[in-house]
Structure 1
Amino acid sequence: MVLEIADLSILPGKNAEFEVAIEAGVKEVISKAKGFIGFKVQKGIENPNRYLLMIEWETLENHMVDFRESPEFAQWRSYVGPYFEKPPAMEHFELLIS
């Protein structure tokens, strides 16, 4: 299992719209991708315009090749991209201790 963490900063005043868009985008697009396991979204407390999107994938290739190189990636970005204040920072993690 690979954990993708995307750090998202959105435009001020767009929280409610963004929260609807990110939920719809994950449920309607990403959740159908090969290797998708599950997701969580966390909202910043000190900075309420900052969100962490955490997606579990079966493999790194499922995210970076199967999804990111598919037409569905552009579809996903059409849901959330208009709300980004700056490009998201994204990294992958593997479980060390459970």
Structure 2
Amino acid sequence: MILEVAILEIKPGLAEQFETAFKTASSIIASMSGYISHELQRCIETPNRYILLVRWQTLEDHTVGFRQSPDYQKWRSLLHHFYDPFPTVEHYQVV
């Protein structure tokens, strides 16, 4: 299992709209091959900051299967305009 970790900085005043769009986008990622689960959490100290955790069976399920799919373009159009700056995404594995 691979854990994708993304810190999402949302433009001020758009948190509620982002959360609504994310609910729609969740069905896109959940339908992808290799997807296991995901969770989105909001930072208490910095309300415009979120952490997205997505569990994938393999790294390629995310980097190729999802990122190179037509569905990724839908995901992108729903969410990417909320970010400032654009998030760094990292992948982790259990040691």
1:68 is displaced (CA, Å) by 0.5
Q: Using structure 2 for the length normalisation, give the TM-score.
A: 0.95
Uncovered stretches (5+) of structure 1, i.e. residues with no partner: none
Q: Using structure 1 for the length normalisation, give the TM-score.
A: 0.92
Uncovered stretches (5+) of structure 2, i.e. residues with no partner: none
Number of corresponding residues: 95
How far, CA to CA, are the matches of 1:26 and 1:86 in structure 2?
A: 21
1:20 is displaced (CA, Å) by 0.9
Aligned to 1:17: 17
The one-letter code of the counterpart of 1:17 is Q
Percent identical:
40
Q: CA RMSD in A?
A: 0.8
The yes-or-no answer on 1:38 pairing with 2:43 is no
Which stretches of structure 1, 4 residues or longer, exceed 2 Å deviation after superposition? none
The yes-or-no answer on 1:79 pairing with 2:78 is yes
Give secondary structure in 2 for the equivalent of 1:13: coil
Give secondary structure in 1 for the equivalent of 2:85: coil
